[in-house]
Chain A
Amino acid sequence: MSGMTEHPDLHLSAYVDEALAPAARAAVSAHLDGCARCRAQLADLRATSRLIGALPQLGPSRSLVPRLDRAPVWLRPVRLLGAMGSGLFVFLFLASAVINSGSSLGGGTTTAERLAEKGQFGAAVNALASDRAKGPATATPAPVPALAPAAQSTASGSSFDAVGRSAAASAAPTQASRGDAASTAGTLPASRDLAGQPFGPPPQLFLALAALSALAAFVAHRRLRRA
């Protein structure tokens, strides 16, 4: 390029791109004024540049932007365990409620105890006598429907009524006396502990755990859907 007697070939592209320093650009311009060959090359370079610049953008076949707000990997297990835990705790709640309600209906006490609790003392004595007559092996708790005949006998004014009141009076009021009556009958309540309390945690605890598990599963599900 010195003195512009040489062709400024290597500077022609930079001249097209206006990337030359002012002095170099002025020198190339001066050379181009008197050199048809360099003007032709400049025109070809400019045309080639335009052709390349007119190329269309190529498009990817899929989105290439990574999902950066993707949910943490532990959310899926949380959703699964939450859903499973919710179902399990609902089941435990129902099972616990059924067991405890069965217990409160008298399923685990003797007929004599249940009648005494209801104040039907005469019938209680009759039931106690009946259990004794059957012997220890058969003195199992009577099902709830068996109460009906005993209750009827009380209503009709049994001859044992007066005796029953005095006998059951010592059995009914306290837990200890009930325990004695049960041991007399040769059995222990099936769903109560020795203190007579419902067995296991309260059903409400299972219900609360079920609600918490369902909430965790729901929140995890929402978060996973948003990601």
Chain B
Amino acid sequence: MTDELDRARQGDPRAFDALARRYERALYSHVARIVGPGADAEDVVQEAFVSAWRSLSGFEGTSFKAWLFRIARNRAIDLIRAQKRRAELPLDPPDDDGSDPSWAEPVAGGPSLTDIAAGNEARAAVESALALVPVEQRDALLLRDVEGFSYDEIASITVSEIGTVKSRIHRARVAVRNDLVAKGWRASAG
């Protein structure tokens, strides 16, 4: 990978091609959960690759994957903002207003959150719960839980303070949990 990265930085298009193919699906998957699956997400990823190729010589970070994700998610957020401006929709609520996110009380019945397997039903429920989470919180949560980035890396990717990252991840996770509980999933016994 380091060898490929070095060759790509020296202008070898085949080395960059190999690197890009390694992260293509992960990037698309992340962007698709930000802007929605389809042509917009595909365009964002493709433009991110082109942008990365053009500015690769200036890359001096340690994680190529984090750098790629930073470029792609920035484009995705820009697209969301442009769409919201056109539709005159409000932007996301503030990330850290100092208050704790509300914790929904569980209802009786339904499978336990800790027991359910990641079957199709659970996947669909989680996807729809994620879609309701504000974009930047969702972005941080996906970078952590799906891609496995550290909080420091997420702070670098999203150009945020580490405290903001912690807050976004926690709020997003609580929001998903609350939505699942509201749909009948049973929370853990207290």
Q: Which A residues fall within an 8 A CB radius of B?
A: 9-14, 17, 19, 36-37, 39-41, 43-66, 68-69
Contacts and interface: CB of A to CB of B under 8 A. Distances in A.
A55 B126 contact: yes
Contact of A44 (B16, B42, B177): B177
Interface in B6-42: 13-14, 16-17, 20-21, 24-29, 32-33, 37, 41-42
Interface string B100-128: 11010000000001101010001100110
B180 interface: yes
Contacts of B37: 58
Given A47-B114, A55-B127, A56-B123, A62 B174 contact: no
Given A10-B166, A10-B170, 13 more contacts: A10-B100, A17-B151, A41-B103, A45-B174, A48-B113, A50-B118, A53-B145, A54-B123, A55-B118, A58-B32, A58-B33, A64-B42, A65-B20
B176 interface: yes
B170 A14 contact: yes
Contacts of B103: 9, 41
A25 B146 CA distance: 23
B46 to A, nearest CB: 5
A68 B13 contact: yes
B114 A68 contact: no
Contacts of A66: 20, 46, 49-50, 53
A52 B53 contact: no
Interface of B: 13-14, 16-17, 20-21, 24-29, 32-33, 37, 41-42, 45-46, 49-50, 53, 100-101, 103, 113-114, 116, 118, 122-123, 126-127, 130, 141-142, 144-146, 148, 150-151, 166-167, 169-170, 173-174, 176-177, 180, 187-190
Nearest to A56: B123
Given A47-B114, A65-B17, A65-B49, A19 B177 contact: no
A56 B101 CA distance: 27
A51 B126 contact: yes
Nearest to A10: B170
Dominant secondary structure at the A interface: helix
Contact of A47 (B25, B174, B188): B188
A62 B42 CA distance: 8
Most buried by B among A43, A50, A54, A64: A64
A10 B42 CA distance: 35
B26 A57 contact: yes
Contact of B144 (A17, A36, A68): A17
Contacts of B148: 53
A58 B29 contact: yes
Contacts of B16: 68
Most buried by A among B53, B126, B173, B176: B173
Nearest to B189: A40
B163 to A, nearest CB: 9
B21 A52 contact: no
A51 B25 contact: no
A68 B17 contact: yes
Question: Which 8 residue pairs of A and B lie closest in terms of their CB atoms, listed nearest first?
Answer: A54-B118, A68-B13, A13-B170, A40-B190, A43-B188, A52-B145, A69-B13, A47-B113
Given A13-B170, A14-B166, A65-B20, A55 B146 contact: yes
Given A52-B141, A58-B33, A68-B53, A10 B167 contact: yes
A50 B42 CA distance: 27
